[in-house]
Amino acid sequence: MDKEMYRPVNKLADLELALKKSMNQLMDIKVAFAEEMTKRKRIEQELQKIKTNTIHVQEEERKRLSRNLHDGIGQNLYSHLITINRLLSEMDHPLLQLMEKEATELIEEVREISWELRPSVLDDLGLVPAIRSLLARYSEHYMIDVYFECVLNRRLEINIELTIYRIIQEALTNVRKYAEVLAATVTVREMTDTIRVMIEDNGKGFDLENQSLGVGLFSMDERARTVNGELFIHAAPGKGTKIILEIPIF
């Protein structure tokens, strides 16, 4: 009789023990999962920091090379051009005329390379004048009209200005290569706590779902992340492409 009474009690105790063991195992799994997620997040943060530092180093090197080209080779070429012009004023000779032509072309090439590396107007005058200069050159070289709308009345941190400039530059390169249009639109607007940039065209577009992002779009996304921004891409075949950049400001 006593054995029959204790048997259910023993089974209940075994069940409670098994349940407690299972709960402990679940807790161990939960802790291990949390540690793994924390580790993964830390690794992602470190990778983003490395990417940000890499872009910063690249931009500083671009700036240095741009200044050296402008202040070094550019100035030397300009001095030679002045000397050639003085000689031409004293004697007219085909060789001097050729030297003048070549020196002028070299000066223009050096200026173009220097500007592509890092436009001095961006550092000296700010984002808006730099964008206007970019669009003017772009339209002149590629015969694509770019309509610019801007609601921004102050300077931003240089890394934010540089990110916006480079993303506009890369987006317009894509317009030139793939959109097959004669016009595009660039909008920069300061909102309450966000800077919104939009580059839009009504060209060929592409299928976002069935086409992987190219190097240009990937580069734009990486740049956006360096300033805690987000990049949104809207595109469809035959309906153009719209790229939106949003950067938080405080």
Q: Does domain 119-250 have CATH number 1.10.530.10?
A: no
DSSP β-ladder status, 183-190 and 145-151:
parallel
DSSP 179-232: I--SEEEEEEEE-SSEEEEEEEE-S----TTTS---HHHHHHHHHHHHTT-EEE
Give the start-to-end residue ranges of the domains of the chain.
1-118, 119-250
3-state class percentages of the chain: helix first, strand second, coil last, to nearest 5: 65, 15, 20
pLDDT of residue 62: 85
Which residue in the block uniquely carries the two structure tokens 């003085």? 86
pLDDT of residue 225: 92
pLDDT of residue 8: 58
* Tokens read off for 195: 């800077």
DSSP 74-140: IHHHHHHHHHHHHHHHH---HHHHHHHHHHHHHHHHHHHHHHHH--HHHHHT-HHHHHHHHHHHHHH
Q: What is the pLDDT along the chain (250 residues), one digit of tens a residue?
A: 455 555 555 667 777 777 778 787 888 788 887 878 888 888 777 787 887 788 788 888 888 888 888 888 888 998 989 999 999 998 888 899 999 999 999 998 988 888 888 888 999 999 999 999 999 999 999 999 999 999 998 899 999 999 999 999 999 999 999 999 999 999 999 998 999 999 999 999 988 877 777 788 888 999 999 999 999 999 999 999 999 999 998 7
By the 10 Å C-beta count (0-12 exposed, 13-18 middle, 19+ buried), 152 is classed as middle
Contact yes or no for 34/74 (Cβ under 8 A) = no
pLDDT of residue 9: 56
Evaluate if pTM is beyond 0.85: no
